[in-house]
């Protein structure tokens, strides 16, 4: 499916790259790829003049740290997203270098909030593996959930007098586990939940009670998978019923496609043998790369070919077994010799077709890879960018598009894959459809807004109701 367009990166030196996020770093209303650099500079790749150009200022490049993950969200409600950069200089246990939490001032200068003396007591000095953004109460202000390897997790929010506070202990989120992948998504209702894909122990599913507190319920829903080593997770509607299901990859173990049963008492694994076949998986991404109206699942593997599957989901009226999962030829993005470390998607050039950026370099320096789907001509698309009441991307919001008797659902990503975060836009491929009946946006507090008969091949920025 994919063709290699890595030559669009103006300067693409080999590096030890890791997690990837998508955010509006320079505040011009367009999104950039933010790539974590391990033992080298972080990169901010902006589409300009027909190429991806690195615009990272020195403070964000931060070349002397060892970054593995990156996530964006509006921490303080000023309408601009902060960047959380997870640094890990050791494999497990204590580490030397604290994480960074970068904030952009009105004059465009960046500051690390952790560098303020008052925030030193809450530094994260444990080796981390994943970070995600969550608006747990639905007010438009986000926290950063940090999963550490064998050490308690953290949840950073902005407290009184602008101080950072760790709310994981009082919210019973500070469990010590080998969490390698964190998914922030509303799996049960409007409120955002947290799924942790763990190594060497059961997965966690922290269900949001609706008031910003959580209960852990993975075991009761058959999502714990205690004998495997989780690496990455993505939310996707696998059976076409308009609700989010779960896909996660296990390191050298069977991958999972978990679909909710009608009674919601437990979830069932519907992975086909081809998808479940073990691999050294890193990132899992769900997206419609070719705009045919059906999502693909991209499995980014380390040291072996990447895999690509298409989900042919109907309208939610047939049994799960009637839906088809097809393995595709990934084309240039198979990367049989590329030890992938992270990946993210965005329509970075604004043409309505998603780009896939794959990071490499865990064991030795390698360039970044950028890929684009073939055969997209004639397929329509629709993109929806929900905003918080403060004007920032509403990560954790859910967007549904009704086309005939079918409802397609997307979540605005707060964190997914493996140390990564996708663009904060709901991207719908429409195939040959000539009409979208309705688009409905639901924010993390339950507020909703409908757009009847939106135009095709457009991007809609949708403000929070009444803002």
Average pLDDT over residues 301-321: 74
Average pLDDT over residues 447-462: 97
Q: How far apart are CA 256 and CA 264, in angstroms?
A: 17
Check pLDDT > 70 for residue 314. no
Q: Is 426 in a helix, a strand, or coil?
A: strand
The DSSP code sequence of 245-314 is EEEEEEBTS--EEEEE-TTSS-EEE---HHHHS-B-EEEEEEE-SS-SSS-EEEEEESSS--EEEEEE--
**What does the block give as tokens for 141?**
């202000």
The answer for 168, left when phi > 0, alpha when psi is -120 to 50, beta otherwise, is: alpha
Give percent of the chain above pLDDT 70.
Answer: 97
Amino acid 91: pLDDT? 76
Check pLDDT > 60 for residue 316. no
Check pLDDT > 80 for residue 313. no
Residues pairing with 287 in the sheet: 296
Average pLDDT over residues 29-46: 96
How many helices (H) and strands (E) in the chain? 2, 35
Q: By the 8 A CB rule, do 5 and 338 touch?
A: no
Alpha-carbon torsion (452, 24, 357, 155), positive or negative: negative
What is this structure's pTM?
0.96
pLDDT confidence of 311, banded at 50, 70, 90? very high
Check pLDDT > 70 for residue 415. yes
**What pLDDT digit, counting tens, does each position of 85-139 carry?**
999 988 778 888 899 999 999 999 999 999 999 999 999 999 888 999 999 999 9
pLDDT confidence of 467, banded at 50, 70, 90? confident
**What pLDDT digit, counting tens, does each position of 223-266 carry?**
999 999 999 999 999 888 889 999 999 999 999 999 987 666 78
Residue 71: HSE in the Cβ half-sphere, 13 Å Cα cutoff: 34
Q: How far apart are CA 302 and CA 309, in angstroms?
A: 18
Of residues 162 and 332, more confidently modeled: 332
Q: By the 8 A CB rule, do 373 and 289 touch?
A: yes
For the chain, the residue count is 467
Amino acid 228: pLDDT? 95
Longest dimension (CA), the chain: 58
Q: By the 8 A CB rule, do 348 and 290 touch?
A: no
Amino acid 264: pLDDT? 62
Beta strand 380-386 with 458-462 is parallel
Check pLDDT > 90 for residue 318. no
Residue 428: HSE in the Cβ half-sphere, 13 Å Cα cutoff: 32
**What pLDDT digit, counting tens, does each position of 142-177 carry?**
999 999 988 899 999 999 888 999 999 999 999 887
Q: By the 8 A CB rule, do 276 and 254 touch?
A: yes
- Name residues whose C-beta falls within 8 Å of residue 201's C-beta, 6 or more positions apart in sequence: 177, 178, 226
100-104: strand order across its sheet: 67-73, 82-87, 100-104, 110-112
Q: How far apart are CA 275 and CA 307, in angstroms?
A: 8
pLDDT confidence of 433, banded at 50, 70, 90? very high
**What pLDDT digit, counting tens, does each position of 56-77 carry?**
999 999 999 999 999 999 999 9
């Amino acid at each position: 499916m994919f063709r290699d367009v890595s030559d669009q990166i103006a300067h693409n030196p080999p590096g030890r790259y890791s997690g990837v996020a998508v955010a509006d770093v320079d505040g011009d209303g367009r999104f950039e790829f933010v790539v974590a650099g391990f033992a080298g500079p972080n990169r901010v790749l902006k589409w300009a003049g027909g190429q991806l150009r690195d615009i990272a200022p020195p403070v964000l490049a931060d070349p002397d740290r060892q970054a593995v993950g990156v996530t964006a969200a509006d921490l303080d409600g000023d309408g601009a997203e902060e960047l959380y950069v997870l640094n890990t200089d050791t494999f497990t246990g204590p580490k030397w270098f604290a994480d960074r939490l970068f904030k952009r001032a009105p004059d465009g200068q960046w500051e690390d909030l952790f560098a303020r003396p008052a925030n030193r007591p809450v530094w994260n000095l444990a080796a981390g593996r994943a970070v995600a953004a969550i608006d747990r109460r639905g007010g438009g202000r986000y926290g950063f959930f940090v999963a550490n390897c064998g050490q308690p997790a953290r949840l950073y929010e902005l407290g009184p007098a602008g101080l950072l506070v760790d709310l994981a202990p009082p919210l019973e989120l500070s469990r010590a586990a080998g969490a390698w992948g964190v998914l922030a998504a509303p799996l049960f209702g409007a409120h955002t939940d947290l799924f942790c894909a763990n190594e060497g122990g059961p997965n966690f599913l922290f269900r949001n009670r609706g008031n910003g507190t959580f209960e852990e319920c993975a075991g009761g829903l058959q999502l714990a998978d205690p004998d495997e080593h989780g690496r990455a997770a993505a939310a996707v509607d696998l059976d076409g019923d308009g609700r989010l299901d779960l896909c996660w990859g296990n390191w050298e173990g069977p991958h999972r496609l978990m679909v909710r049963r009608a009674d919601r008492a437990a979830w069932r694994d519907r992975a086909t043998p081809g998808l479940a076949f073990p691999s050294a998986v890193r990132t899992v991404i769900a997206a419609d790369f070719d705009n045919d109206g059906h999502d693909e699942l991209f499995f980014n593997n380390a040291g072996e070919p990447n895999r690509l599957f298409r989900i042919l989901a109907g309208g939610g009226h047939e049994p799960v077994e009637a839906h088809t999962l097809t393995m595709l030829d990934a084309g240039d993005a198979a990367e049989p010799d590329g030890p992938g470390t992270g990946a993210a998607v965005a329509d970075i050039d604004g043409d309505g077709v998603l780009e896939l950026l794959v990071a490499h370099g865990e064991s030795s320096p390698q360039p970044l890879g950028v890929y684009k789907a073939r055969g997209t001509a004639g397929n329509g698309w629709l993109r929806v960018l929900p905003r918080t009441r403060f004007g920032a991307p509403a990560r954790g919001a859910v967007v549904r598009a009704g086309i005939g008797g079918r409802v397609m659902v997307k979540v605005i990503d707060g964190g997914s894959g493996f140390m990564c975060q996708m663009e904060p836009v709901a991207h719908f491929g429409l195939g040959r459809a000539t009409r979208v009946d309705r688009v409905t946006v639901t924010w993390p507090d339950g507020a909703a807004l409908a757009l009847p008969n939106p135009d095709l091949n457009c991007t809609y920025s949708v403000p929070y109701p009444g803002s």
